[in-house]
Structure 1
Amino acid sequence: MKHYLTPISILVLAISIYAGCWMLAKEWKEDHFIKQDAAASIRSTIDRGVQKPTLLMTADDLAVYLGINSEEALQLGPIPNPTGVTSELPYIQIGNQIYFSKLAVDEWLAQKGTVIVP
């Protein structure tokens, strides 16, 4: 009886290792597909022009949010002149990048009402 115990143990171990690898591979594959589906959903939302929920917006994001073109959005942002920098919209500068706070833009719109872009 002892002669059969070692081969049976090896067979059970091999089956266990195979089953474990199969379950892990299946889980990783499902997780990969879920991540791909989420990424595809985000890409399709962006492609449709739906604004993603953010607190800070770039000039391009601001243009989409306000329904204007990029040049008009840049005219509302900070413009250097001899007396300093003027801006129609409140903005945040981080390094060389300019961002607009969504909450501040909403408040600015509520205060200004109708705005004519120069």
Structure 2
Amino acid sequence: MDAVKRQRLEASGWRVGNAEDFLGLSPEEVAFIEMKLSLSKRLRELRLSQKLSQESLANRINSSQSRVAKMETSDPSVSLDLIVRTLLAMGATREDVAGAIASSCSSLLL
């Protein structure tokens, strides 16, 4: 949100914040969510770069298309472990996984 819009809202009596403020998340919870989002984004990018459908990826990992969709959207029912194992099954390296995590950490520093 730009500064002018923020000032206008605050002048009108609105409180301006983010999801962290609204939900009362700890820094650790924010970091976890950011990591999961980055890994999910990397999973989708890798699947698309390999020209795989969600269904074909699901078959590769003995899962369902809906589970792959949930992984790609960081659904709360999907564990971080499952996302990482799927990335590795797709040929991602430890460095790829670390890079996705590192990108989430750099966004927290901004």
Q: With the length of structure 2 as denominator, give the TM-score of the two structures.
A: 0.28
Question: If each structure's strand is expressed as a fraction of its own residues, which one has the higher value?
Answer: 1
Structure with bigger RCO (C-alpha 8 Å, 6+ apart): 2
Question: If each structure's helix is expressed as a fraction of its own residues, which one has the higher value?
Answer: 2
Structure number with greater Rg is 1
